[in-house]
Amino acid sequence: MYLWRDLGDRGVNMKEIFRQVKINQKNAPYYFLTPVIIIFAIFMIYPIAKSFILSFYEFKAGEYSFVGIGNYTNLVKDNIFKKALFNTLIYLVFQVPVMVFLSLLLAYLMDQSFVKWKAIYRVSVFLPAITSLVAYSLIFKLLLNSEYGLINFLIGLFGFDGVNWLGGNISAKISIMLAITWRWTGYNTVIMLAGLQNIPNEIYEAADIDGANRIQKFFKITMPNMKPIILFSAITSTIGTLQLFDEPYILTNGGPDGATITVAQYLYNSGFRYIKFGYAAAISYVLVALIALLSYVQFKVGEKES
Amino acid sequence: MIKEKNNSIKTTTAVKVFTFVILFAAVFVSLYPFYQMFVSSTLKTGEILKIPPTMSPGSNLAMNLKNLKDKINIGRVMLNSIFVATVYTFLTLIINSLAGYALAKFDFKGRNIIFVLIMGTMMIPAQVLYIPQFTMMTSIGWANKFRAVIVPALANAFGIFLMRQNMMSFPTSLIESARIDGYSELSIFLRIVLPNMKPALGALGIYNFMSQWGNFMWPLIILSTKDMYTFPVALASLDGLMYKDYGMMMLGASISTIPVLVMFLLFQKQFIAGLMGGAIKE
């Protein structure tokens, strides 16, 4: 008797448990988010925190020892790091504005009503964004070859001397910027084009009635409406440039003599060539601080102007 | 009938000429490197490295392929890349659409904080994660395994964001009437919501496939033996050789580019439209 009742009770309990773990409208979102939360916790939040802690440690002979802010003070004195930081900022200051301007120009031209077959232009300029970084870096290495590259050949046709593209202090930086611009301008153009097409035609029509010319319309209508998109492009490009790794790694390997090395590449060298994990973690947190700071500044500037 | 922009002001010939010169130049500059890559893959390195550069196809394709096969196991590399990119794409679509659906269509405790946290990780450069992830992978025995490339990359904030944006515009009334009809929460998601998300899933799928296909720095760190290399790592290893055989390298680059190129050209319209939230018009 007792046994039977016991089993019965358990049966009810099992049912109750089953009812609670069953997906219903209340708990469904938690179930649906579980995989993402687990993945983010293990592979995102944990490494972010761990990296921060590691940045206060030194890794030597398989052992970690606490060094306080030692890694950070060493970074301030590290000439290669300063060079990497300088190079990265040079890329940022010159490449991002040029690319944002170019992509806005291309998008604006593609948006003109007399331009037919817009899809062909759109697809063509977008293609560079789909090539793998390694493949395109190899092509650029060939095109920029100082003796046999096509670009120097074309320069020669105009009677000028070829440039030592990948070997000169300044020219190697320009080469890296050319390569990034080639790859990402089309991508940003497509984003800008989407923004331009979202501006209601009525605004332009009203301006036509008021007798506004093309240039007035561009600065009074197009630009103000495009501000959020331009800001988006600028911020994503800035983040991308600050993390720049693949191009200098393959095109120039950071050379000549550190002229093109970036912060991300120096991080890679410190961590995975010289096995200085703590030092590399400190570099990565300088990157985080830079990205946060620059995104904030760009966001504020964008907000103020609009 | 949509009225076209700028139609009331007569477009001068000069404006048109300027426009087309710039656009043609942009198309040429965008496409020429592809042409050079494909042409060079059929040339001897001596034909590539000469003045003037050879710009028409040659007859060395078979030789380049043979040399390439000597240096890397091209079939294996191709399979590795396809495996990693496909499994990654498939898994990330499942977990991102589940998360996007939860964040878009449910009101629950902690929703905003979860969303903000996920979005915040977009600001974190991947390099921050590499040192702890590398240590973690080594200690759990995942070093030099494909799962080490695939699983950490599943933390994909952009995908969650994109799916959430697309789910937001899905009519809530449809979900509610399915509930009244007695559908379970899981089957509402699988049978009502997901089939309507095909354009977004397609766009995100292609995007994820391409980004994993070209992924370089992390696989370079975590994959250490030749038989595990994906295309970018294998190509970079060719470049590290003493004698640079450009014909062979360009063939390798071409082979690695063709699959994503074909995929993009087939689905470019849906792809671009999906990524831009359907904002692109002809």
Lowest mean pLDDT among A228-237, B26-35, B95-104: A228-237
Q: CA nearest B154 in A: which residue?
A: A39
Does the complex come out with an ipTM higher than 0.85? no
The two structure tokens encoding residue A1 = 């008797």
- Condensed to tens digits (0 to 9), the pLDDT of residues B90-137 reads 999 999 999 999 999 999 988 999 998 888 888 787 878 888 899 899
* Distance of alpha carbon B31 from alpha carbon B241, whole angstroms: 28
Average pLDDT score, chain B: 87
User: What is the secondary structure of B6-22 as a DSSP string?
Assistant: T-SSPPPHHHHHHHHHH
* Distance of alpha carbon B274 from alpha carbon B282, whole angstroms: 14
pTM score above 0.90: no
Residue A177 is predicted with a pLDDT of 93
User: What is the secondary structure of A192-226 as a DSSP string?
Assistant: HHHHHHTS-HHHHHHHHHTT--HHHHIIIIIHHHH
User: Angle A179-A183-A184 (CA atoms, 0-180°, nearest 5)?
Assistant: 120
Which of B7, B127, B184 lies at the smallest CB-CB distance from A23? B184
**How many residue pairs from chains A and B have C-beta atoms closer than 8 A?**
294
* Distance of alpha carbon A167 from alpha carbon A164, whole angstroms: 5
Query: Taking 70 as the threshold, does the pLDDT of residue B275 lie above it?
Result: no
Residue A9 is predicted with a pLDDT of 54
**CB–CB of A166/A251 below 8 Å?**
yes
CA-based torsion, A280, A283, A285, A288: positive or negative: negative
State whether A24 and B29 contact (CB < 8 Å).
no
Kindly state the average pLDDT of the residues B30-58: 86
* Distance of alpha carbon B155 from alpha carbon A141, whole angstroms: 33
Residue B8 is predicted with a pLDDT of 44
Q: Which residues contact A141 (CB under 8 A, 6 or more apart)?
A: A166, A250, A251, B239
Q: What percent of chain B has pLDDT over 70?
A: 93
Kindly state the average pLDDT of the residues A110-124: 88
**CB–CB of B40/B63 below 8 Å?**
no
Q: Which residue has the higher pLDDT, B257 or A133?
A: B257
Residue A243 is predicted with a pLDDT of 86
Closest chain A C-alpha to B84 CA, distance in angstroms: 15
Q: CA nearest A282 in B: which residue?
A: B128
Three-state SS for A69? coil
**CB–CB of A303/A247 below 8 Å?**
no
Residue A158 is predicted with a pLDDT of 86
Q: How far is Cα of residue B246 from the mean position of the Cα atoms in its chain?
A: 26
Residue A60's DSSP bridge partners are: A63
* Distance of alpha carbon A226 from alpha carbon B67, whole angstroms: 51
**CB–CB of B5/A111 below 8 Å?**
yes
Q: What percent of chain B has pLDDT over 90?
A: 46
Query: Taking 60 as the threshold, does the pLDDT of residue B5 lie above it?
Result: no
**CB–CB of B206/B267 below 8 Å?**
yes
State whether A33 and B265 contact (CB < 8 Å).
no
Residue A214 is predicted with a pLDDT of 83
State whether B6 and A271 contact (CB < 8 Å).
no
State whether B3 and A142 contact (CB < 8 Å).
no
- Condensed to tens digits (0 to 9), the pLDDT of residues A3-54 reads 555 555 555 566 666 666 777 788 889 999 999 999 999 999 999 999 999 9
Query: Taking 50 as the threshold, does the pLDDT of residue B37 lie above it?
Result: yes
Which long-range contacts (C-beta less than 8 Å, at least 24 apart) are formed by B14-19? B15/A214, B16/A114, B19/A109, B19/A112, B19/A114, B19/A115
Closest chain B C-alpha to A1 CA, distance in angstroms: 38
Q: How many CB atoms lie within 10 A of CB B5?
A: 20
Query: Taking 70 as the threshold, does the pLDDT of residue A259 lie above it?
Result: yes
- Condensed to tens digits (0 to 9), the pLDDT of residues B193-221 reads 999 888 888 888 988 998 899 888 899 99
The radius of gyration of chain B from alpha carbons, rounded to an integer in Å, stands at 24
State whether A119 and B221 contact (CB < 8 Å).
no
Residue B145 is predicted with a pLDDT of 94
Closest chain B C-alpha to A78 CA, distance in angstroms: 19
Residue type at B133 in one-letter notation: Q
Overall residue count recorded for chain B in this entry: 282
* Distance of alpha carbon A263 from alpha carbon A204, whole angstroms: 45
Measured between beta carbons, the chain A residues lying within 8 angstroms of B282 are 118-119
B241 inside 8 A of chain A by CB: no
- Condensed to tens digits (0 to 9), the pLDDT of residues B230-242 reads 999 998 888 777 6
Q: CA nearest A285 in B: which residue?
A: B128
Measured between beta carbons, the chain B residues lying within 8 angstroms of A293 are none
Query: Taking 50 as the threshold, does the pLDDT of residue A223 lie above it?
Result: yes
- Condensed to tens digits (0 to 9), the pLDDT of residues B145-186 reads 999 999 999 988 988 988 898 888 889 999 999 999 989 989
Confidence of residue B85 (pLDDT cuts 50, 70, 90): very high
